[in-house]
């Protein structure tokens, strides 16, 4: 806002403690403390994670893939931070049977104006469940090259970061749980764009097994979901909650623009129906 960098932290603390700070700018400059509060309301409604789970089940595999996806959600997003309702607003499922579906759902995840979407989160995750070949992710009778998927996700992410609020999502991760998921160019990795493959050159296949409850889990995904990913999820939640008591309560304050209302939208009907189908399918197991 034009404030000298050395003064920013002090003034920001005063503002968030509810103290009155006035900007002595040109009358036509749209700058005020209320703008800061509105942005703060917006950011407190941003989710830590938004996830797109893409499944391409073969005939007879529908239940298996849905169980794998559900178990991944429970492993990666622990109940102490994500109850069933919050998980429902964090994760959406899409089942595909061709290359076009894969591209459509990835674009929708980054471009949609409401519901479960990448622009609503600090971290955006896309996970692929199903089969893989040397040619890519198996979607029906088509194989989608992994590098095509990665390029599309990166392109959509770069475009999305220019939209308000800029820079969200801060980080994007693609997880390939299927066989041959490692067959992609490695130079795409960065600290803000991560591709995680469960297969390796020495172990190119992944497997699914039944757990103690009799439901399917991806055996190779479990150590990652319950280990590094879960640890990162918990760290993010602890970090976001650490300064809660130090900030002014803005819940009753006046807003000139309903920004927070735009962000804190519930899942769209499409999200709800898709997730409900997973729950109905698992009803006898939960």
Percent pLDDT > 70 in the chain is 82
Q: Is residue 34 part of a domain?
A: no
Domain extent, residue 72, equals: 42-242+267-285
Cis peptide before 169 (omega within 30 of 0): yes
Higher pLDDT among residues 71 and 266, named by residue: 71
pLDDT at 222 over 80: yes
Q: Is residue 252 part of a domain?
A: no
The CATH code of the domain that includes 166 is 3.40.50.1460
Dihedral class, residue 239 (left if φ above 0, else alpha if ψ from -120 to 50, else beta): alpha
Q: Is residue 20 part of a domain?
A: no
Q: How many separate domains does the chain show?
A: 1
pLDDT at 273 over 70: no
**What confidence score (pLDDT) does residue 95 get?**
96
Q: Is residue 236 part of a domain?
A: yes
pLDDT at 208 over 50: yes
Angle (CA) 73-126-231 rounded to 5° is: 50
CB 238 within 8 Å of CB 80: no
- Per residue in 56-108, pLDDT (tens digit) is 999 999 999 999 999 999 999 999 999 999 999 999 999 999 999 999 999 99
| Separation CA 92–CA 155 (nearest Å) | 21
pLDDT at 125 over 90: yes
CB 91 within 8 Å of CB 84: no
Q: Is residue 12 part of a domain?
A: no
Q: Is residue 71 part of a domain?
A: yes
pLDDT at 254 over 60: no
What count of residues does the chain have?
Answer: 286
| Separation CA 218–CA 229 (nearest Å) | 15
Dihedral class, residue 167 (left if φ above 0, else alpha if ψ from -120 to 50, else beta): left
Q: Is residue 277 part of a domain?
A: yes
pLDDT at 53 over 90: yes
Q: Is residue 238 part of a domain?
A: yes
**CA 17 from centroid of its chain's CA atoms:** 31
């Amino acid at each position: 806002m034009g404030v000298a960098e050395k003064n920013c932290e002090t003034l920001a603390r005063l503002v968030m403690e509810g103290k009155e700070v006035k900007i002595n700018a040109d009358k036509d400059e749209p700058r005020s403390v209320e703008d800061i509060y509105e942005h703060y309301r917006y950011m407190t409604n941003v989710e830590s994670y938004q996830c797109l789970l893409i499944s391409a089940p073969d005939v007879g595999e529908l239940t298996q893939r849905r169980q794998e996806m559900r178990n991944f959600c429970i492993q990666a997003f622990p109940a102490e931070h994500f109850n069933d309702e919050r998980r429902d607003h964090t994760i959406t499922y899409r089942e595909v049977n061709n290359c076009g579906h894969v591209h459509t759902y990835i674009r929708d995840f980054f471009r949609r104006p409401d519901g479960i979407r990448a622009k609503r989160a600090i971290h955006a995750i896309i996970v692929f469940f199903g089969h893989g070949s040397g040619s890519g992710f198996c979607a029906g009778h088509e194989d989608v090259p992994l590098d095509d998927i990665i390029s599309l996700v990166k392109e959509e992410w770069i475009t999305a970061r220019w939209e308000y609020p800029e820079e969200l999502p801060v980080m994007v991760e693609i997880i390939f749980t299927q066989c041959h998921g490692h067959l992609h160019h490695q130079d795409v990795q960065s600290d803000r764009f991560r591709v995680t493959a469960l297969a390796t050159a020495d172990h190119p296949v992944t497997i699914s097994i039944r757990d103690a409850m009799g439901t399917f889990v991806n055996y190779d995904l479990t150590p990652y979901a319950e280990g590094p990913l879960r640890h990162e999820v918990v760290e993010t939640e602890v970090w976001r909650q650490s300064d809660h008591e130090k900030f002014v309560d803005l819940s009753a304050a006046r807003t000139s623009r309903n920004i927070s209302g735009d962000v804190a939208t519930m899942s769209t009907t499409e999200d709800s129906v898709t997730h409900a189908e997973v729950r109905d399918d698992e009803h006898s197991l939960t």
